[in-house]
Structure 1
């Protein structure tokens, strides 16, 4: 089922009550290959990641197994850095395993696995499973307002994918 132009599709963000794990799922009206590319191509990634009010600058981006990344999100001089390593980038399997961290809390790093599953009608189910080192870090992630950035970012991604 596709969404109308005025309908906003929300990501499901689920915190495991027993493990420091957060699972995010979201459907897209585009093929898994296109959604995967939007997560590994720095020019596309910078156009959709994060809340609407912020700009993104890619500082470093090596989307390959063993590569790393760093990008900045914000306005003017007020920018926050995010960084990580691409542990596995597997285009044939439509899978990415990476770490993700925020420079404001450099010890709270998440290990994320992204999978891009084909759905009927050329659609995609994106599943992101993130593990952090403690239940406190999980609570901090959820309290950070991450759902705004996730949902606004994915809405921008919907718009980009519709142009493909």
Structure 2
């Protein structure tokens, strides 16, 4: 990929930025509609067999990522469930939500940190700059997800988003 993700850690806040060669409306749709999310969400080799989106303030996005790549060894067949609760939405501009690790029933994991996320979709030279600001309860909580390889996972996920956006135009 020619476009690298910029990553900055300040205390308990992780900010990620990347420019996508697609209109802002399409990038926003890719984050707000299940039909889009199923095509690109998750790192390489993972699929989204469950993706339920109620895209409105107070609505919930509940999903399952499943490793389909036998080359990923112990991860093959593993499921990782997540749940987001949308707080505020400004169409084509911003999505605010709290992101949780969960189980298949939507019960939030007490062992894993939650994340308050603000996604901004900014017009940038005919493209879209995506700014993801993730705030954690503590520096330690942020470090926990960084140690799990979250940055690599997001890099791969956003690479998949770039491919999806090109095919969706």
CA RMSD between the two structures: 1.7
Q: d(CA) in 2 for partners of 1:157 and 1:124?
A: 12
Q: After the TM superposition, which parts of structure 1 deviate over 6 Å for at least 4 consecutive aligned residues?
A: none
Q: Which of 26, 38, 47 does residue 30 from structure 2 map onto? A: 38
Q: d(CA) in 1 for partners of 2:162 and 2:67?
A: 23
Q: d(CA) in 1 for partners of 2:51 and 2:45?
A: 19
Alignment partner, residue 72 of structure 2: none
Please tell me whether residue 110 in structure 1 is matched to residue 115 in structure 2: yes
Q: TM-score, normalised by structure 1?
A: 0.86
Q: Equivalent residues in 2 for 1:45-64 (5 A)?
A: 45-64=37-56
**Alpha-carbon shift at residue 14 of structure 1 (Å):** 1.4
Q: d(CA) in 2 for partners of 1:109 and 1:96?
A: 16
> What are structure 2's unaligned runs of at least 5 residues?
69-76
> What are structure 1's unaligned runs of at least 5 residues?
1-6
**Alpha-carbon shift at residue 15 of structure 1 (Å):** 1.2
| Cα separation, partners in 2 of 1:59 and 1:45, compared to 1, 3 Å | closer
Q: d(CA) in 2 for partners of 1:144 and 1:13?
A: 16
**Alpha-carbon shift at residue 143 of structure 1 (Å):** 1.1
Per mean C-alpha deviation after superposition, the further-off stretch among 145-154 and 23-32 is: 145-154
**Alpha-carbon shift at residue 51 of structure 1 (Å):** 1.0
Q: d(CA) in 2 for partners of 1:83 and 1:117?
A: 25
Contact 2:34–2:51 (CA under 8 A) maintained in structure 1: no
Q: Secondary structure at the match of 2:14?
A: strand
Contact 1:42–1:58 (CA under 8 A) maintained in structure 2: no
Q: Secondary structure at the match of 1:125?
A: strand
Q: Name the count of aligned residue pairs.
A: 154
| Cα separation, partners in 2 of 1:39 and 1:59, compared to 1, 3 Å | closer
Please tell me whether residue 132 in structure 1 is matched to residue 131 in structure 2: no
Please tell me whether residue 72 in structure 1 is matched to residue 71 in structure 2: no
